[in-house]
Amino acid sequence: MYHILDFCIISALSSYLSINQLNDSSKWQSHTYEVINKTQEIDAYMINSEAELRGYVISEKASYLQPFHENINKISPAIRDLKRTITDNPEQINRVDSLLKYADLKVSDMRELLALFNSKGFESSKNYISLDKGKFFKDKMLEISNEIIKT
């Protein structure tokens, strides 16, 4: 009789621990997908900003400027939101801080390009773009984003 009771207690305890472990695993999996989605969202804002700016410089159509400004203004808040999501991981915090640094540099670069185009025209903008500063900042951002997603 006691053996049956012992078995039931052990079985119940084992089930309880397994369910808790499964819940913890599910929470971490959900957290991982949240980090991935937020990181990809940041990349999309940057890439879309770049595309809109390029469209404006090539076509001189002002209709490209509103989506450019909308996307560019979402980048830093999205990175701060990502940082709040990963407060439990110091390595990821360092990566997100680096991501913010390069995002700020890339945003400044795009704003500088826009100002240059508006004041001096296409040829000056073309020469500025050929320096590849903006490409370097974007590549660093994408590299850091990939590290965030992999970890």
CB atoms within 10 A of CB 64: 18
What global pTM score does this model have?
Answer: 0.84
pLDDT of 142 above 70: yes
Residue type, 67: P
Residue 8: the pLDDT is: 65
**Scanning the structure block, which residue is given the tokens 């999501």?**
85
Considering the domain 34-150, what is its CATH architecture?
Answer: Up-down Bundle (1.20)
Average pLDDT, the chain: 91
For tokens 């025209």, the residue is 121
User: Any idea what the Cα angle at residue 18 is, between residues 14 and 19, rounded to 5°?
Assistant: 120
Q: Output the CA–CA distances (angstroms, integers) from residue 69 to 50, 64, 101, in the order listed.
A: 10, 9, 19
At 110, list the tokens. 């795009």
Q: What ranges do the domains of the chain cover?
A: 34-150
Per-residue confidence (pLDDT) for residue 9, from 0 to 100? 75
Distant-in-sequence, close-in-space partners of 111: CB < 8 Å, separation ≥ 6: 72
Tell me the average pLDDT across 57-75. Answer: 97
Contacts of 139 (CB under 8 A, 6+ apart): none
